[in-house]
Amino acid sequence: MKYLYVFILRFVLSVVLAAVISRLFWGWLPLGRVLGFAAILLVLAYLFEYTREKDKSGQR
């Protein structure tokens, strides 16, 4: 269940951050583009976690 909570938290934060960033830089954007931007942010969060964990274990 821990991983589900982490996913939900990251998903909600990525949607909120995508909405705020899109409003700051581009004004009004369609919901589909904001959700696409949120998906990119979510993938980046998991990619950075993977590289951080890989770096901690000493593998290169």
Task: Note the pLDDT tens digit of each residue in 7-60.
Answer: 999 999 999 999 999 999 988 889 999 999 999 999 999 999 999 888 777 665
CA quadruple 13, 19, 25, 29: dihedral positive or negative? positive
Residue 35: which of 49, 18, 22 has the closest Cα?
A: 18
- Listing DSSP states for 22-60 in one string gives HHHHHSS--HHHHHHHHHHHHHHHHHHHHHHHHHHTT--
Sorted by where each begins, the domain ranges of the chain are 2-56
